[in-house]
Amino acid sequence: MIRFARKLALATFAVTALAIASGPALAQAQDYPNKPVRWIVPYPPAGTTDVLARIVAQWLTEKMGQPFVVENKPGAGNNIGTEMVVKAPPDGYTMLLVNPANGINATLYRNLNFNFIRDIAPVAGLIRTPNVMEVTPSLPVRTVKEFIDYCKANPGKINMASSGSGTSVHLSGELFKSMTGCDMVHVPYKGAGPALIDLMGGQVQVLFDNLPSSIGHIRAGKLRALGVTSEGREPSLPGVPTVGETVPGYEATAWFGIGMPKGTPREIIEKVNAEVNRALADPKMRERLAELGGKSIGGTPEDFGRVIAAETAKWEKVVISSGAKVE
């Protein structure tokens, strides 16, 4: 009887200790958010990451009762903004707009101060979108085949813009170069916004941009779309073929989501994940994202973690085959 009483006391103590330990985290999650949340976008304004974050931030602000404030922190191929989040307190009040560069940079950069998969907790997937191969209207080509012919007739004279070294925009172009033999000069910018300005102005000739930041310019006739980089045609640009219809096997899509510093309480991650999934299920939000060429990916934090892992492995092969490296 005494032995049973001791076991019962120990069990009661263990349960009580667990409740005490988990109490602050549970209380923190129940009260979350009770102040503004910083959402770090590691690129300048006007690009896909910025446009997407501001759309979703508006929803989260309205539904969760505190401002979700988008902060643009560009630089070093998105690594400056990412490192800010890695080093932030894991309390749920700093988020990262996760994007393809986070998977690409693991191979592209030799000396990062963080390991993305280890140091950032996946929270929720947002959308997947094709890139679009687009040219300045003054370039005398209207199809992917005409572009390839023109490029081969003018080797080294085509300037290929990107939103930064190591972005999906850059590597989509590198993949095209390797599969077609086109000799193009890579011109990296600090985001899609400035790259688009120079493309429309004719300072550069081609860009494999994320569709959301370019679709308005394409519809306005300021840029000419030659092909989308997805496996199938994009409903938001029904008259534009895929690049793969001319270059068999070519496919590249961009993906976006939310991450927080490792160690952020699971209850907070699940709270944000649930609200994001409600947003992605909302008909008006889905329509708005579809207008940008985005398809919702949603799901659990683990689902988004699997997307990150798979895309990191995929682009590792492209980085290695292209020979691209950034110190």
Cα–Cα distance for residue pair 134/217, rounded to 1 Å? 10
pLDDT at 16 over 80: no
On whether both 124 and 137 belong to a single domain, the answer is no
Is the domain of 60 the same as that of 150? no
Where among 221, 245, 269 does a domain terminate?
245
The residue from 222, 245, 268 where one domain ends is 245
pLDDT score at 317: 85
Least confident among 48-52, 65-69, 71-75, 124-128: 48-52
* Same domain as 185, residue 196: yes
Residue 228 pairs with which residues in a beta bridge? 132, 242
Domain end marker among 197, 223, 245: 245
Asked if residue 90 and residue 140 are part of one domain, the reply reads: no
Give the number of domains in the chain.
2
pLDDT in tens, 199-227: 999 999 999 998 988 999 999 999 999 99
Q: Is the pLDDT of residue 27 over 70?
A: no
What band does 23 get if pLDDT is binned at 50, 70 and 90? low
Domain span including residue 195? 130-245
CATH of the domain at 223: 3.40.190.10
CATH number of the domain at 83, please. Answer: 3.40.190.150
CB 65 within 8 A of CB 104: no
Examine the pLDDT at 194 and tell me if it is beyond 70: yes
What SS3 string covers 75-142?
Answer: CHHHHHHHHHHHCCCCCCCEEEEECHHHHHHHHHECCCCCCHHHHEEEEEEEEEEEEEEEECCCCCCC
pLDDT of residue 60: 98
Distance CA 29, CA 109 (A): 36
Angstrom distance (rounded) from CA 37 to CA 39: 6
* Angle, alpha carbons 219-220-221 (nearest 5°): 90
Kindly give the interhelix angle for 211-219 and 192-201, rounded to the nearest 10 degrees: 30
The yes-or-no verdict on residue 168 having pLDDT over 90 is no
Residue 228 scores a pLDDT above 60: yes
Q: How much is the average pLDDT of 67-88?
A: 95
CA distance 264 to 94: 10
Angle between helix axes 211-219 and 48-64 (nearest 10 degrees) is 110
Question: Tokens representing 6?
Answer: 């001791």
Asked whether the predicted pLDDT for residue 293 surpasses 50, the reply is: yes
User: What is the mean pLDDT of the segment spanning 10-35?
Assistant: 61
- Amino acid identity, residue 164? G
User: Pick from 220, 198, 225, 221: which is nearest to 210 by CA?
Assistant: 225
